[in-house]
Each structure stands twice: as C-alpha cells, then as structure tokens.
Amino acid sequence: MFSEVKISNGKGSNGAAFRRVLIGAAALMLGVMLPSKASFAEIIGSGYNFDATQSSQGSIVVDYGPGSTGNWEEDEQGRRYKRNDSYVTSTWLDTPEGSFCFDENGYVYTNSLLERDGKLYYVKDDGAVMKDVELGTKGIAYVVDEEGVATPASQLSEYDEAAREIAASLIGDIINDSMTEEEKITAIFNFVKFYYMGYTANGPLEDAAESAVYGFRRKTGNCFEYAAVSHYLILAAGFDDIIVKKFDDGHFWNMILTSKGWKHYDTTPWDDFDAGPILLSPTKFIEDNYWTYFKFNVGEYPEAM
C-alpha cells in the first residue's frame, strides 16, 4: 500500500517543467569565466522550486499483460497515464516501461527523489526510476543499485563525509551568490579542469566518494576522479548531478541539472578537443565525431539536448 511520497526538485502539477532544450552545433561552450558562497544543504532531495510531502491514498497499480488498456498522454504540464478512461493519480504505476509515480492531478513526477515502501528512488526527466548509477541531489550523494533503490553514500562509504566537507570548504572560493547559474557552472568547470586537478592514469576507481577524496587531497586523478571531484562540488553548489559512465567503463563524466534541463559536463582534459563546460547532446556527439569518447546507454540517463 502506497502511503506517502516525499518529493523534491521535481515537478508534479505545481512544479516547473524542466523541459528539453536543444543546444545548437555552435554551443560547444557557454564561455570561459574565471572563478569570481553557496549554502551547503544536507537534506533529502533537491529543490529548485518544489519541496513538499504529499499524502496519497491509492494502491500500487500494475498495468501490463493481457487486458492492459492504459496509454500515455502529454501536454504542456507533463505526462499522464490514462487507464480505463481515468488518469492514474497519487500512486505508483508499474508498467513494462518501468515504475512511475503520479501526483494528485495525474502528472508523473520528474527529476525527483521519491519514497516508496520506505525506500528512496530517483526518477529522471521522463519519470522513470534511475538504476545502477551514482547521483546527488541538494548536497547529498546517493548510490543507486540495479533495482533503483537510492542509498545515501554516507551509509555506504566512509569517505562521503570527508568529500562533502572538502567540497563545502572550497565552493565559497569558486562561486558566489552574485553569479548567474551559467557563471557558477562555468566557474566550477574552470576550477577543476584548469586550476585544481592534474591528470594521471592512477586512481582508486571505487566509489565516487573515495575517488573524490583522492582527487581533492592529491589534486590528481583519472577521468573518474575528475567526475567525482566535480560531482561533490556541483552538489555543494546546489545542483543535481549524475556521474555518467561509458559502455566499457572507459570514461566517466557528469550530467548537471540546470534550470534549462540536464546538460553533459566533462572536466577531464583532452588532447584532441577542448569542449566547454556544457557538452553536446548524444546526437551531436555522433555528428561531431565525439561518440568515441561518450558512447553510453542513452536510455538509462535523462535526455539532454
């Protein structure tokens, strides 16, 4: 029985939609700005504009197999699921596509940390539960298992507290409250890539917390250390973040949730190209011959354009 949904940073009927924004071929970078205090919130979830607890009366709905009649509909407020001539509301829905959670008006929650049966799940931009990934929301890092259960990294890694403390001590020297969102993102990028870190093939490559501490203390690391250090700084700045991995685990980078949607973000230095803080969409990766570096399972992550 589904009794309560805890939401943050997502959109139900009241939240602002984090819609997909196409970055043109010319937008390889937002611009280069040198770093010019952000609060370090240690609470569940992420709250651009929505942070609430809503009670829910409905049971968990299962919609697949013989006799299934449900279908998705979408409007300017988001996606809804109609089943037997009425919209699914205030409950979770299990479908062949995955599990989704709906608000009282029938809109699926997106980019949110939700609770179901005492466990936490993070749903991405289409409302589907993310699985097998390390992500963070509102200053808290989570490790998501293959079933989609999100566990605070602090419960799994002895390094998480140290990583958060180091990030919190640095972020005030990198960004300030007078900066725009774009300026903050660019400042963190420049700090990690051009000032703080030096590339080496060595690194623990265990979990993000341990790799972040390794990178913070040694100021060196491989792409995973770069992604992990960026991860904790991005969280300290108040943005949601996901660490993305290439198919063969041959490269790691970040996806950062901005007010315009999810954007790819790679602070690792490269010899043969030098993209800015905001990378292109997967389509543009392929068109511009970057797919070799960024070949990943697109469907498992939020859509970024």
The range of the structural domain enclosing residue 292 comes to: 160-300
pLDDT in tens, 56-89: 333 455 554 444 567 889 999 999 999 888 999 9
Cα Rg of the chain, angstroms: 19
Q: What is the domain count for the chain?
A: 1
Comparing 3-17, 193-207, 232-246, which segment has the lowest mean pLDDT?
3-17
Residue 121 located in a structural domain: no
Residue 11 located in a structural domain: no
User: Residue 186: which CATH number?
Assistant: 3.10.620.30
Residue 38 located in a structural domain: no
Strand positions, DSSP E, the chain: 4-8, 51-55, 61-62, 71-75, 78-83, 86-87, 92-95, 98-101, 112-116, 119-123, 133-137, 140-144, 150-152, 198-199, 220-221, 241-245, 252-258, 261-265
Residue 214 located in a structural domain: yes
Residue 148 located in a structural domain: no
Comparing 88-92, 156-160, 279-283, which segment has the lowest mean pLDDT?
279-283
Residue 256 located in a structural domain: yes
What pLDDT, on the 0 to 100 scale, is given for residue 281?
75
Residue 90 located in a structural domain: no
Indicate whether 25 pLDDT > 80: no
pLDDT in tens, 163-194: 999 999 999 999 999 999 999 999 999 999 99
Across 31-60, average pLDDT: 30
Residue 124 located in a structural domain: no
φ/ψ (deg, to 5) at 160: -60, -45
